[in-house]
A and B are shown apart, each in its own frame.
Chain A
């Protein structure tokens, strides 16, 4: 690790450390202010939201959150988001993990083609896939179903699963399966009983990252759902469509409830964030 540090006198060192902390505190405040302000708005009454000058100190109220839970559409959209995201993650893991294993261990016919396809899936603009997908899905009656959204989400979660899991499989010593093969296990047995249990941390990391992407998606579900199957981001966009209206408390409270699960999940997976973010670009 090439950590930079100041070279010089003690006095200079203290000055340097002080300015580094000052810069970091300033940046953190600037980056977090918008978020904290929104959380603040969600804890204000309607009068307090529009107070001038804005209130910086007030007695927080939970009435906005209570109102969100009383709405019929929010819990429904929450359930849809949950179903669709977990569905997409499950599908991508079931389909992608064996392929990742094959990528990490074997040379096979069509390897380069498959690799290129997954790279393209990850990199190309989703709107370009969505236009024909909508036409095809609508002709077979799949639009407005949750299944269509799950299938659409696999365009980004499948490549992510394959890339992350491939890295984990590559880090696993090959001798483990080889000794299982020598003992008479079939390749299937070696994969299911020897390799998969050892790869559990990778499965967790891949699912969390996919879950985050699926939970945050707007474009696919905006086009492929109706009012009954829409996910949280679609509902949020409907709240804020056109004019921002007057129910700022309700909007911000629901916004906070949408991002809370993602933030918790991301903190759990922080170690793996970099691997997921740069997938496909670092390991080319």
Chain B
């Protein structure tokens, strides 16, 4: 008669296995740390170094001449660069404000409890999925002065992307079109996660729809609005693809944002040192933006 075998003991780890097991966390984070260092950390440090050099592409990596703050002085005395800082801030403000207003409106509409609302959600988010380069050239065709459908609809002949006064507007419009749906999805998720009790209590107390929105929904939604504001500000500040395809910074620098300026300096004029100095100016500005928003979010959370 066969005797049931005793359950096999768990495999005892050898001392070497135990040592390896204790290294698990280190081994798990090592690849990420290495990749981050080589792809992100070292390049940024190197670009900081380059920004104090007069470096030429034919020189070895460390053969540039130390020029101190010369590159930064060149930038700050360049009216084009100062103009592009002002332009980037204007552009970021216009696009983010419009995206938030439009996105909030769409989110509120999509959150109304009516049949078939979900269908609209599916269609409204399509623009945000489109490759920005393709979106930009589609709009280039729509805005074409001679054969574009937009000029035909308004019955005028406007060279949208060729005039300094309309180019920024047109570029902003394309970005708003692509990114307002993004804000609306983010805020809709926020609206869906709000507690019902305050709304129900207000209903019982006889609050009007408008009062409920203004005094209950909006204050509860504030953290989500701040997140949307933070993300959109950061991404509009660094926007590149759309603007590059639509205008490449022209006409007459009317859409020369900091990203475009840095690109032109580095990859058109191949002045990597000046490009690095412009990069670090951008980095400093976006870090200030991030810290500002983070502290705002923290302060709101604390209250």
Q: Which residues of A contact B (CB under 8 A)?
A: 1-7, 17, 20-21, 23-25, 27-28, 31-32, 34-35, 37-38, 41, 49-50, 52-54, 91, 94-96, 98-99, 101-102, 106, 108, 110, 114, 117-118, 120-121, 123-136, 138-139, 151-152, 154-155, 158, 162, 183-184, 186-188, 191, 212, 215-216, 218-219, 222-223, 232-233, 236-237, 239-240, 244, 248, 251-252, 255, 258-259, 262-263, 266-267, 270, 273-274, 277-278, 281-282, 284
CB closest chain-A residue, reference B37: A117
Contacts A/B (CB < 8 Å), 20 sampled = A2-B199, A4-B108, A4-B213, A27-B109, A32-B127, A37-B142, A38-B141, A49-B147, A96-B32, A117-B40, A127-B266, A129-B44, A130-B266, A133-B39, A135-B46, A191-B24, A248-B147, A258-B131, A263-B126, A278-B227
Which of B27, B139, B195, B258 is within 8 Å of A34, CB to CB? Answer: B139
- Chain B residue numbers with a CB within 8 Å of A129 are 39-40, 43-44, 47
Q: How far is the CB of A113 from chain B (nearest CB, A)?
A: 9
Instruction: Determine chain A's interface SS by DSSP, over half rule.
Output: helix
Query: A127–B282 contact, CB under 8 A?
Result: yes
- Chain A residue numbers with a CB within 8 Å of B43 are 129, 132-133, 136
Task: Judge whether B33 is part of the interface by a CB distance below 8 angstroms.
Answer: yes
Assembled-state Cα–Cα distance A263/B127 (Å):
9
Instruction: Determine chain B's interface SS by DSSP, over half rule.
Output: helix
Assembled-state Cα–Cα distance A62/B123 (Å):
25
- Chain A-chain B contacts (Cβ-Cβ < 8 Å), number: 308
Which of B117, B181, B227, B276 is within 8 Å of A131, CB to CB? Answer: B276
Query: A218–B133 contact, CB under 8 A?
Result: yes
Known: A35-B130, A186-B21, A262-B130. A28 touches B124 (CB 8 A): yes
Query: B39–A233 contact, CB under 8 A?
Result: no
Q: How far is the CB of A234 from chain B (nearest CB, A)?
A: 8
- Chain A residue numbers with a CB within 8 Å of B189 are 274, 278
Which of A27, A120, A132, A186 is within 8 Å of B124, CB to CB? Answer: A27
